[in-house]
C-alpha cells in the first residue's frame, strides 16, 4: 500500500461530504447500503426490534480558521500583555469564522482538530496550544456552555503539513452524555 500526498482542498472537500446534512453520509442518511456498510435494519447479525426507532444520529458541525494560530513558544516567557493581545485578536478572528459557519449551540460534544501547518518546524505540542483560543471562542460565542470536561467529552488532534492552506479545521460532534 502506498501513501500519496493529499492536498488541503481534497481533504476539505472530503470532510464537507462527510459533514453535509448533519449525518455521516457513509453509514446513514441514505436508502440502501453503500460499499462497506450495512443497512441499519437488516443483516445476519442484527434483527429489527418491533416498535424501536434507531438512535438519533449525532449532529456534526465544522469550521475552518485560516493562518497558523499562535503556539506555546509565542507566549511563554513573554510579557502578560502579549498573551492578552493575542487572545483578544485571535478570539475575534475565530468568532468571525464561527459566525460565518452558522454553528448551532451544543450541550455535550467531542471536538476534533486538524491542524494544517506550513512546514515541519513547530512541534505538535506547540501547534495544538492554539486549541485554547478555539475553545474560548466557542464558549464566548455560546456554541458550548463552558469549556470544561462536563461539556467537552474528548479532544482529538491531527497535525498535517500543507503549505497551501495553513490553519485549523475544527469538527464538533454533539453527543448525549
Q: Is residue 84 part of a domain?
A: yes
Helix (H) or strand (E) holding 177: none
What confidence tens digit (pLDDT) does each residue in 123-174 have?
Answer: 999 999 999 999 999 999 999 999 999 999 999 999 999 888 999 999 999 9
CATH code where residue 75 lies = 3.30.1330.70
pLDDT of residue 116: 95
In this prediction, residue 36 carries a pLDDT of 44
| 8 Å CB contact between 100 and 63 | yes
Distance (Å, whole) CA 165 – CA 113:
15
Predicted structure pTM score: 0.68
In the chain, the number of structural domains is 1
Q: How many CB atoms lie within 10 A of CB 160?
A: 13
Supply the range of the domain harboring residue 124: 8-27+57-174
Tell me what pLDDT residue 62 has. 96
Give the containing element (helix H, strand E) for 114. Answer: strand 109-117
Span 16-34, pLDDT tens digits? 544 444 444 444 444 444 4
Amino acid at each position: 500500500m502506498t501513501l500519496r500526498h493529499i492536498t488541503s482542498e481534497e481533504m476539505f472537500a472530503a470532510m464537507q461530504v462527510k459533514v453535509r446534512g448533519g449525518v455521516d453520509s457513509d453509514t446513514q442518511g441514505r436508502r440502501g447500503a453503500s460499499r462497506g456498510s450495512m443497512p441499519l435494519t437488516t443483516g445476519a447479525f442484527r434483527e429489527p426490534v418491533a416498535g424501536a426507532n434507531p438512535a438519533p444520529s449525532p449532529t456534526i458541525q465544522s469550521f475552518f480558521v485560516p493562518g497558523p494560530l499562535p503556539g506555546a513558544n509565542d507566549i511563554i516567557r513573554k510579557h502578560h500583555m502579549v498573551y492578552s493581545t493575542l487572545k483578544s485578536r485571535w478570539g475575534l478572528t475565530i468568532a468571525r469564522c464561527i459566525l460565518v459557519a452558522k454553528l448551532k449551540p451544543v450541550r455535550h460534544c467531542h471536538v476534533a482538530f486538524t491542524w494544517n501547518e506550513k512546514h515541519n518546524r513547530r512541534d505538535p505540542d506547540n501547534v495544538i496550544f492554539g486549541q485554547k483560543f478555539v475553545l474560548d471562542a466557542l464558549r464566548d460565542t455560546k456554541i458550548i456552555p463552558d469549556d470544561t470536561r462536563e461539556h467537552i467529552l474528548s479532544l482529538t488532534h491531527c497535525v498535517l503539513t500543507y503549505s497551501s492552506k495553513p490553519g485549523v479545521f475544527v469538527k464538533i460532534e454533539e453527543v448525549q452524555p
